[in-house]
Amino acid sequence: MRVKGTYRYDAAPEQVYDLLLDPTALQACIPGCEQLEATGVDQYRAILKVGVSAIRGTFEGDVTISDREPGRSYRMHVTAKGGPGSVSGSATIRLTADGDQTVVDVDGDAKIAGPAAGVAQRLFGGIASSMMNQFFGCLRTRLPSASTAEGR
Amino acid sequence: MTATVGRETRRWIGESVRRREDLPLVQGKGRYAADLEVPGMVHMAVLRSPHGHARIRGIDASRARALPGVFDVISAADLAGIGEFPVLWRLPGLKPSGIPVLARDKVRYVGEPVAAVVAESRYVAEDALDLIEVDYEPLPAVADVEAAIAPGAPVINDAWGDNIAIKHVVSGVNAKGEAGDVEGAFAAAHTVVTGRFKINRFSGVPLETRGLLAIHDPLSGDLTLWSSSQVAHKLRTQLSEVLNFPEASIRIRTPNLGGGFGVKWDAYPEDALVCILAQRLGRPVKYIEDRREHLQATVHAREQLHELEMAVAEDGTVLGIRGRIYCDLGAHPHSVGIGPAWVTGVSLTGQYAIKNLSCDVYAIATNKVPSSTFRGFGGPEATFAIERLMDKAALALAMDPAEIRRRNYIQPDEFPWFSAGGGVFDSGNYPGLLEKALAAVGYDALRDEQARLREQGVHRGIGIGAYIHTAGFGPSMVLGLLSYYTSGYEGSTIKVDPGGNVTIYTGMIPMGQGTETTLAQVAADQFGVDIDKVKVVWGDTSQTPYTGFGSAGSRSNVAAAAIIKAGEVVKAKAERIAANLLEASPDDVVYADGAVTVKGSPDKRVELREIAEQAYLAHRLPEGDQPTLEGTYVYDPALFTIASGCHIAVVDVDVETGELKIVKYVVVDDAGTIINPLLVEGQIQGGLAQGFGGAQLEEFVYDEDGQLLTQSFMDYLLPSIHEMPDVEIHHQVTPSPHTPGGFKGMGEAGTFPPGPALANAVSDALRPLGVEVDAMPITSNAVWALLQR
């Protein structure tokens, strides 16, 4: 499953970059995140409660950040397991200055296995978009200059 | 109209006798596997692979074992001394494999059993499944034949070196040893038509999933397994080998079955698991497969890709067929190996007198559940190919599709016909089927109407689907020649009790088709008694005769023949006993209408009841005869019986949406002598439902990682009564000359033609737009996509 999204922020790329990788911001903004604890440099263990209607569950997962280019891009890898199944995926996040704003581009891939794959695959695109929009929207509120620019 | 079974007047055969099974079933008094309860029973749940392809690095079941209410958890490490279920049909060249009871080093498909839990309830057992930690190392998967044979493709079965289970060559040499000349046929061709056909992956999906209850008696050491299996004795033999447990101490009993359709013929890991756990625990172990498990792990079927060419002469005579068939086998061969693909290869010539055939059948492993037995068993796939090729040839020669078929049929006086695929066709009248179907559908008027409607922008099409159905599986010797390690006989034991009632013991397993009633009809006519005096005993291997094939391969005719032959043994003895009582010579008496009379003196008569009484008292038995009145006959068919039929579909296609509307659908079916017309119609309708389902709705879809995306009825679409068209059913009867009673099997017939008939009809409807339907399912999406090209 492709995971793609583009979001705009009223801030400089370096500011947005730091925000995207701030564990406090992440714990507050990742939807359903109950716990996020650092297990090493750029490594986290997360517990998430997510789902849509009947397909809900608690996921335990590992998040790894790699290929850091401060202010410009990084890669994120996730593997998570829970009742509804397991998810593993990677995404590249790129930040580009556009005048006073920063455009954040997310481009990734996720594989889903387990019960959810067999009964809910039609919903995944929507769930992924919804979660990303929630996450990036929430981050925007934590910017020093909480702006009114809309993400796409 | 009466006819005779031997010397008997037929009172019951040919009658639409209502089923004796039905009253308790419709009153909710049926006893299916899920209804079985015994004291001390515990419940099994199975942990299944969530990955299409992965290595198992380790399994930690400690948390599961510690859960209150859990009695046992096992994985492959606990299966020392346990074998694998065998592939029974081991064609030469088939790479070695078995069916493991639990996955050991790797998992090869989503749903493959990895561990089993036994607990006080299914709820607790499933909670325990969540606590089993399996360390999987996911591997790249292959989910279609092209990916599986691409260079560098991940190998699923490490010992094989690649993913080709077998390349089987159908050489086109007939049963008399005569070879064809395919090269010559294509060199001489006026036209060559090609077809690239995709048959979808679908399966039987019975209303009742699989169910098991294993009881190990510590006192006698006996193992009783209640199983929703279609073939109890063969399962017993296989279990004995897998479990290393004496076969004489295994008893398999069959509850009511909510449908089988072939998928319950194969042996499955769970069959062994419940037995193993029952022995380990000393308590009865029950397992009921849930629907998601069923869609994942009960065998699929049909998926094939064909690349075929057909050489045709200018007058429409088909000169030859050649090409390749790729069977998507799933992760490994299952109980019947590549049986269905083999049948497809040898059945490609259909009803036609095509003497030149050459086909390479490839069976390819993919990361999907194995593809195996399902009603039709390769015949529907072949029917799709040949019937589409006939229509393509008709188009190429600007000939009517009915006319091209007329020019190619095996004629009624050409039987026995030795087909290029190696089959021997016993009897048939294929032109007769076509003419009957054309008349029933009003073909000529339809063609005129089609032209008029086209001018008005209505796209109506007519499609023919004609088939041969190798039924009455089969002469055991032939199965041996084919390297199929099972047998095709049916035994029948008949006991007449002192009261003159007749009890039939049969190895057949009723799975909803009315076997009990059908066989009672045959016995009632055989003995000339009222059908209420006939009892049929089935479903208990400790009582019923051994069968290697059971209820599959459309074999009621084989069971019926066994009853007729066993009946002859009993009646001959009855004649001898009666002759002795009447003080006549055995040559001067005859058994008829439930009694033995002296020929020419109808007043000198002894009823069956009296004969039976004397047989059990044994006060006045003829010399050489032993007391009691029973007989056994094990009937091994001399030949397969070839049933046949012709269907015609009339459809309207909406070119905006691709939607089909079936305007008319006509069936002409020939299954030889019919035992019960009502039940035959039921079988045809049921087969049609599965035929239409596969043709338009049903498909198991895997993504490229081998994830099964259709794990519920939200996505795997079964036809309901609303999707079923009204069909008109007609019959033709060409009896089987070599089967006592003249019956041919027919249980699978309905599944063969709907796909090709609809594909031909839609292609015919959209002919002006150049659309050819060469794939199933024929969904509105698919037709719409073809229209966009």
List, as one string, the DSSP characters of A43-110. Answer: EEEEEEEEEETTEEEEEEEEEEEEEEETTTEEEEEEEEEETTEEEEEEEEEEEEEETTEEEEEEEEEE
Given a contact cutoff of 8 angstroms between Cβ atoms, the answer to whether B562 and B751 are in contact is no
Task: Please determine, for residue B364, whether its predicted confidence score (pLDDT) is greater than 90.
Answer: yes
Partner residue opposite B711 with nearest CB, options A83, A86, A118: A118
Task: Please determine, for residue A73, whether its predicted confidence score (pLDDT) is greater than 90.
Answer: yes
**What is the reported pLDDT for A118?**
82
**What is the reported pLDDT for B2?**
36
* pLDDT band for position A86 (cuts 50, 70, 90): confident
Return the minimum-mean-pLDDT range out of A134-138, B696-700, B741-745, B768-772: B741-745
Among residues B175, B700, B671, B174, the alpha carbon closest in space to that of B433 is found at B671
- CB-CB neighbors (< 8 A) of A115 in chain B: 50, 292, 711
**What is the reported pLDDT for B377?**
95
Task: Please determine, for residue B170, whether its predicted confidence score (pLDDT) is greater than 60.
Answer: yes
CA distance B341 to chain A (A): 28
**What is the reported pLDDT for B8?**
56
| A30 is a domain residue | yes
* pLDDT band for position A90 (cuts 50, 70, 90): very high
Flag whether residue A109 sits within 8 Å of chain B, measured between CB atoms. no
| A25 is a domain residue | yes
Task: Please determine, for residue B611, whether its predicted confidence score (pLDDT) is greater than 80.
Answer: yes
Mean pLDDT of chain B: 95
| A64 is a domain residue | yes
Among residues B522, B542, B566, B577, the alpha carbon closest in space to that of B743 is found at B522
Radius of gyration (C-alpha) of chain B in whole angstroms:
27
- CB-CB neighbors (< 8 A) of B296 in chain A: 118
* pLDDT band for position B9 (cuts 50, 70, 90): low
Residue A125 domain boundaries: 2-141
| A135 is a domain residue | yes
In percent, the amount of chain B with pLDDT more than 90 equals 93
Residue spans of the domains in chain B: they are 4-30+489-635, 33-139+209-257+264-297, 304-475+638-788
- CB-CB neighbors (< 8 A) of A88 in chain B: 138
**What is the reported pLDDT for B3?**
39
Q: What is the mean pLDDT of residues B364-388?
A: 97
Query: Rounded to whole angstroms, how far apart are CA atoms B96 and B332?
Result: 9
CATH of the domain at A80: 3.30.530.20
**What is the reported pLDDT for B614?**
96
Query: Rounded to whole angstroms, how far apart are CA atoms B120 and B286?
Result: 11
| A10 is a domain residue | yes
Return the minimum-mean-pLDDT range out of A51-60, B325-334, B447-456: A51-60
**What is the reported pLDDT for A152?**
40
Given a contact cutoff of 8 angstroms between Cβ atoms, the answer to whether B223 and B215 are in contact is yes
**What is the reported pLDDT for A147?**
47
Q: What is the mean pLDDT of residues B23-38?
A: 95
Q: How many domains does chain A have?
A: 1
Q: Do domains B4-30+489-635 and B304-475+638-788 have the same CATH topology?
A: yes
* pLDDT band for position A151 (cuts 50, 70, 90): very low
Return the minimum-mean-pLDDT range out of A118-132, B117-131, B193-207: A118-132
In percent, the amount of chain B with pLDDT more than 70 equals 99
Find the angle CA(B270)-CA(B272)-CA(B278) to the nearest 5 degrees.
Answer: 100
Task: Please determine, for residue A142, whether its predicted confidence score (pLDDT) is greater than 50.
Answer: yes
| A150 is a domain residue | no
- How crowded is the C-beta side of A141, counted as CA atoms within 13 Å? 8
Flag whether residue A116 sits within 8 Å of chain B, measured between CB atoms. no
| A77 is a domain residue | yes
Domain B4-30+489-635 top-level CATH class = alpha beta
Domain B304-475+638-788 top-level CATH class = alpha beta
Phi, psi of B763 (to 5 degrees): -60, -40
**What is the reported pLDDT for A145?**
64
| A151 is a domain residue | no
Query: Rounded to whole angstroms, how far apart are CA atoms B500 and B191?
Result: 67
Q: Which residue has the higher pLDDT, B321 or B553?
A: B321
Task: Please determine, for residue B499, whether its predicted confidence score (pLDDT) is greater than 70.
Answer: yes
- Chain B's closest residue to A119, CA to CA, is B711
Helix (H, G, I), strand (E, B) or coil at A125: helix
Flag whether residue A112 sits within 8 Å of chain B, measured between CB atoms. yes
**What is the reported pLDDT for A150?**
47
**What is the reported pLDDT for A131?**
86
Q: Which of A119, A122, A123, A124 to mutate to test the interface with B (most CBs of B within 10 A)?
A: A119
| CB proximity list for A80: less than 8 A, separation 6 or greater | A46, A48, A59, A60, A61, A62, A86, A87, A88
Q: What is the mean pLDDT of residues B622-635?
A: 96
Under CATH, domain B33-139+209-257+264-297 is a member of which superfamily? Aldehyde oxidase/xanthine dehydrogenase, a/b hammerhead (3.90.1170.50)
